[in-house]
Each structure stands twice: as C-alpha cells, then as structure tokens.
A and B are shown apart, each in its own frame.
Chain A
Amino acid sequence: MYQKFDVVIVGAGGAGLMAAMQLPNASVAVLSKVYPTRSHTGAAQGGVAAALGNLEEDHWKWHMYDTIKGGDYLVDQPAAEILARDAIDAIYELEHRGLPFNRTPDGRIDQRRFGGHTRNYGEAPVRRSCYAADRTGHMLLQTMYQNAIKNQVRFFNEFLALDLLVNEGRVCGVVALEIRTGEIHTFHAKAVLFATGGYGRAWRVTSNAFACMGDGMAIAYRRGIPLQDMEMYQFHPTGLYKVGVLLSEGARGEGARLLNGKGEYFMERYMPTLKDLAPRDIVSRCIIKEIKEGRGVNGEDYVYLDLRHLGEKVITEKLPDITEFARNYLGVEPIREPVPIQPTAHYAMGGIPTDNDGRVVIDAQWTPLPGFYAAGEVACVSVHGANRLGTNSLVDLIVFGRRAGKHMARFIAESDHVPLPPHHEDFAREMVDHLLTSKGGESAARIRNELQGEMLEHVFVERQEKGLQHAMETVAGLQEAYQKVQLQDKGKTFNTELVEAIELGFLLECAAATVHGALARKESRGAHYRLDYPERDDVNWLKHTLIYKGEGACNARLAYKDVILIDDPVFKPKERKY
C-alpha cells in the first residue's frame, strides 16, 4: 500500500514523540513496531538532568562540563552546550505537559544526585536529576504519548521498518511491514526521522528490551550511511545478576554503595571524590577488576549493591520498582539483604551521525543527506562521546528530538516530495520473501544466541586485539549462516518469527560495526577499554570513527572525523579523575 505524508517518524519512544509534537501543522505518520507505550524509553528509571538548582546551586555550564568530561572528551562540545542549556526549558515544558515529577516540600521539582554530575567542575556530587520515583522514563513516555493523543498524531502501530528510500540525493520515504497483516507499505515523505533506539540485545546480559535490535542503524548502514563511534557502547554497572535488568543509578544517587565479596565498599579505593557516583564506564571497570582479582562474592562473577542503610522509607518511596525487581527475579529483599549485580549492556553512545538539528551527516565534512533525520539513542550527535552520563539519555531525547522536529518543520515548508526511486519496494520484498521461502535449515535463535555470547565474552567492558579478532570472525560466520535462516511460520498474519529473523539481520550489522570500530581504535577512552592499549591517546585518537558498510558480509570501510572543541580552557581535554 502507498501513502504520502510530509513527515514519517520511525519509532514512538521519547525522541520520536517529542519530534512529532513540533509538527502540529504537517501531515505526520509515526510508525512503531510496538504500541507506543511499549517503547524502551519507558524502562528508564533514575531521572532526567537539568541544572534547575532547586535544591542547591547549579549551572548549565557545570552540566556541560560534566557531560564533556564524562564522555572522556569525545563529545562535540557545542552539542553539549545545547544539551545542558536546553535541558532546563525542556524540563519545564515536560512539567507543563503533565509529567508527574516528585516534588520538594515547597512544591518544586525534586532533584537527586547521579553519577558524574558535579558542582563547580568536579568538586562534589550535585542534585541535578529530576525524577519520578524510579520510573522517570515511564512517566516521560506516558506524558509524551498522552500529548500525542491530544494533538491527534497519526500512529501506525506494529509496523516494522524495513528500508529507507533515497532518490536524487534525498531521502524520500520508508518501506515497512505491517506485522498484523504481513502487507508491505510504502510511506512517501519529504522528511524521515529515525528514532528507533539502540541495539542492546547484541549482548547476552542486557538491560534492553527484546525490541532493541538496532533497526534504524542497520537500515541506514545498508543504504551507505555511516555509523559513528559504534565501539563506544555503555555497560551499566548495576544489572541484576544473570538477569541483566537494570537497578537504577538513582539507588547510588540516594546513597547505595557497591560491596565486594570481602565486605569492602571498594569504590572509595578507586575514586576518592565521587566514589560510587563516578561515571558508569569507570564503575563497571572497577567491578570487573574486583571480580578478576578474586573479590567477587564467593569467588563468583558478581558483587553487591547495598541499599540496606537507606532504610525502608527511602527504599519504598524513592526506589519501589527496582526493589520489586530484586524481590521478584532474585528473591532478594533489598531492605535487609545486599543485591547481587554485574555490569549489563545498556546504551549505544554511537549511532547515525547527526548535526545539532538532527540532520543526518554522512562524512567527515558534515555533508547532510537532505530529508533524513535521527534522534535519541539511534543517533550520535555526539553529545555522549565515549561514555554517557546517567540521566543524559532522557535529556538527549527531549532536547534533540525537539530540535529535529523543529528543523523538519522548516524543511518541509521549503521542500517538495522527491519522486520515489524505481522499484522502491524490491529490496524490502526480497528480504521478506527470502526469509519466508528459504530452505537453508539454519535457526535464527541459534545465531542470535551465539552472537550474544560472543559479544559478552570479547566485546564487553574490557577488550583486546585477539578477542576482537575472534569476534570479527564469529560475526562474519554468523552473517553467512544468516543467509540460510529457515522459518517454520510461513504465514502472513502476525508472523513474529519473521519479525525476529528480520531484526536479527539488523542486529548482526550493528554488531559488525561495533567490532570494526573497536578493533581499529588502539587506545582506551570512556567505555572503550583496551587491555593492550590502556591509555587514552589524544594525539592520534581524539576523533570520531565513521564506519561505512563494505562489499560482502562483514566488511567495512573506516574514516575519521574531528571532534569539535570550544576555545575555553575549562573544556580542554585533560586527564579524567574523580
């Protein structure tokens, strides 16, 4: 089926809905492969940062500094300035739209401490995270969806994007599968925004939903658009042991501490100033070090998150959901017992490169691909650099989702529809038909399982040449095997086996790009820690990786792009200590 809109937004999480909100006078279609309220934004817990200063002195410039330093200086500094400045108005906008923030006794938005957020350029933790218990993302997603209903946004629920249409040097639409009917649809548009989220399902232990399969990144990558800084993948320090479900950093913001098998609160040994509230890359590395040196609990591969001293009132009122996760999935009572945790795959700092207005740029010279936008986790602005600070993901969604929406509003006013390219549905139809008719005998579940194990073993918190080479060979082999995937369900109605197989193809592309970026970057920076190159190397590596898909299964071509620095001594790259 063919339909024509001014704007097509793929993804109905925070970024997609925020962008849709900026286009009240345009015809907009929002495609989501799940019902919008199922989007993974809803799983965010701890908060959304803005220097409101409701409880103590704070300034956007401190937030900007923390973001840049937290990202180990791979952040484009003007983007960080926008993030920190615009966050303040964006929070007020969300409050005006109805978001039920926790409140201070005098009725203002309450704020809590969070990892890497400091006062006066690193002196001590600051209360900057605006929150709603430990379900801030849920409240944000609900609020955005409610406002979308109010604005009568047109949703296409349970539509899986398959392909991006490009013609005459411009993006002009999306091809998608209607899951319920199995029909292929073409959405012809002046502008397309990808807000499809991340790809945390590439790792076996993950905080991410089944939906986080890298759809948007892979679709763009297959169309020759580069992916940026894919080696920068965040492993959150506190996932529930083996399950991977997130225990918010908000817990440590309220005072919870990490405890090793010897009963030591070990973070004060590594990071004397911020201790347990050091940024996530650092805390995850410290946990792995404790485990490697035999100080895991009972010699095993986990440590504890200790909330006991917070008391029942704080735990019940401010951290109700995560305590229920611990009770339900591990049978542990956080009020009385420490909770077993391990680092869990969490967030892609990398993604589709964009400028500060969400426009996708396709080379080191920042050349835009007109009509194509990306925002949220799928995008790399780059505002998170080599390591995102907690709470900055929700800030990113609202600030850059909004900017992308506003830019699209201007773009569609000045532009017409570009004609669709010839045979525009062929690529998507061949993808689907191949999977439905293949008799290769291969199992998608087996491939996915092997990929997740390989990534956890070799492309995790610590990396080195040999393991990355191994991962590269494995991913290449799995991509070959993927061509032989055979389905049992050949039907058209709600074929989730087909959906899972298509998504696996996306996930393999993202994994391959990640390994390429990680193998090439011979230094340690932020979340990318190389045992064989343990130091940061600003002379050779203060630059963004651009990864272009090459010919053949797992091949890629790499290029590099300068990091944009601001001429201000405060933000000059220096050693990162907390």
Chain B
Amino acid sequence: MKVTLRIKRFDPDKDAKPYWAEYTVAASPVDRLLDALNTIKWTIDGTLTFRRSCAHGVCGSDAMRINGRNRLACKVLIRDVGEKVTVEPMLGFPVIKDLVVDMDPFFHKYESIKPYLITHDNEPGTERLQSPEERARYDEGTKCILCGACTGSCPSIWGNPDWVGPAAIVNAHRFIFDSRDQGTAERLAILGQRNGVWRCRTIFNCSDACPRGIPVTDLIEQVKRAIIYGDRNID
C-alpha cells in the first residue's frame, strides 16, 4: 500500500519557521511508522531528521506526535494510522531540527526529584529483603523509559514549561513507594512545591500517551495523597 506522511519540518540553519512537507512511500500494513520514516530518509530525502535506536519500544528515542497523539514511531504500525499520517515533534519541548526536540530540560526535571535509592542504614551482606507484595507496590513506575511522551502531551507543561511534569513524578513514585527507600520525606518536599505535583489537573493525556501502559495519572494522584497525609503507606 501507499502511505502519505505529512511531516512538520524545521532546520534552524535554513528555515525561518517550520513548514509541512509531504512524502508518499510504499509500505506494508504491518510495517512500523519508523520504517516509513526510514524509507523517506534512505530513498527520498536524507535531510529528514529524527531519533531512533532499539526500534521495538524499549529505548524511548522516537517519541513524536503522530496524528495528534504522542506515540513511539517504532510501536505504531501503518495499519494503526492509515494511508494519511501527520507527524510532528512533541509539543512542550524546544525543537532542534525536524522531529528532534531538546530533551535536556526533561532530564534535568527527572534529576530534580532524586531518582535514586536513598538509604541511611548499613547494607546487609546479601540482598535486602522485600516481599513480592512490596515489590509490586512500585512496579508500574519501573517500566518508564523516559521517552517524554507523557510530559509532552500535558497541557499543564505546554502552559508552564517549568513544571516538573508527569515523567519525573512517575519516577519519584517508583522510589517513594519502594519499601527499601528512606528518601520519601525529601522527595515529597520537592514535589509539594509550587512546580511539584499540584499543577497536575488530572487531564489523563499522559496516561493515554504512555507507550508502556503506565497509569501515569493514577501514580501522580498517589503521590498527591502521600503529600497530604505525609505518609507513603496511605492508599
């Protein structure tokens, strides 16, 4: 089948402002959208620029806005998007070139919530014990691949680029609800601030956008409750 991709392009070295370009390529219904982008790059226009690496939805490189929703180009199949597809860079991030956005601010927000296990006790000679139930409590957040699809889909981020955003909160949740962690108070203090969890308006775009199926909004709500009650053991 033939697929027409309408792609938002911008090269800061050449273009005063972004423009739309159209490309028609042959594709099979079970091809990934990423395959179609590669076909364009390799056979029609080598200047088309996007990130990609693992090509099966685990590295998080190729999040972009596909028919108006943030998706990974390697997880979307042609049969899911039809014969006409619109592809843009994610909103809420500065564009570097074509579909490539600046991820540095996103990673700085991730760093700001202390995304690492904080412990004060001496380490045991073997593993710390953790029951399967305790392990399950924070499982959802561990799936995050930091692709930015949730954060880039959030109207609160579009309105306020300084907001910490859903991805950082998901990763805070992953540690706040880890029975081994002792940094809950520090993280809840950070997320209780002006640009912390409270700018979430429960719009649910993030949950829709997550390619890993993480219930992002639910996790944000759990963090809100932990701040209100000052305790991670509240459900």
Contacts and interface: CB of A to CB of B under 8 A. Distances in A.
Contacts of A491: 11, 13-14, 47
Nearest to A212: B53
Interface stretch (B17-25, B122-130, B201-209, B218-226): B122-130
B12 A488 contact: no
Contacts of B178: 98, 100
B55 to A, nearest CB: 6
Interface in A193-249: 209-211, 243, 245
A305 B130 CA distance: 33
A16 to B, nearest CB: 16
B77 A37 contact: no
Contacts of A488: 45-47
A132 interface: yes
Classify chain B's interface size. 35 or more
Contact of A38 (B14, B53, B100, B138): B53
Dominant secondary structure of chain A at its interface with chain B: loop
Interface stretch (A324-332, A391-399, A566-574): A324-332
B43 interface: yes
A146 B13 contact: no
Interface stretch (B1-9, B57-65, B153-161, B184-192): B57-65
B14 A146 contact: no
B127 A146 contact: no
B99 to A, nearest CB: 10
Given A35-B103, A209-B59, A96 B123 contact: yes
A139 B142 contact: yes
A497 B114 CA distance: 36
B100 A494 contact: yes
A35 B131 contact: no
Contacts of B146: 35, 37
A105 B56 CA distance: 32
Contacts of A92: 125-127
A102 B135 CA distance: 7
Contacts of A42: 54, 58-59, 145
A155 B6 CA distance: 35
A503 B159 CA distance: 39
A452 interface: no
A43 B54 contact: yes
B143 A135 contact: yes
A149 interface: yes
A553 B54 CA distance: 30
Contacts of A495: 49
B107 A210 contact: no
Contacts of B175: 98
A106 interface: yes
Given A40-B53, A109-B127, A139-B142, A35 B58 contact: no
Contact of B53 (A34, A95, A147, A497): A34
Interface of B: 11-14, 30, 32, 41-43, 45-47, 49-61, 75, 77, 96-97, 100, 103-104, 107, 111, 114-117, 119, 123, 125-132, 134-135, 138-139, 142-143, 145-146, 175, 178, 180-181
Given A106-B129, A445-B41, 14 more contacts: A34-B59, A95-B128, A98-B181, A103-B131, A103-B132, A108-B126, A149-B111, A150-B116, A209-B59, A245-B56, A331-B30, A492-B13, A496-B41, A497-B41
Interface of A: 34-35, 37-40, 42-43, 52, 91-92, 95-98, 100-109, 132, 135, 138-139, 142, 146-147, 149-150, 157, 180, 209-211, 243, 245, 321, 325, 328-331, 443, 445, 487-489, 491-497
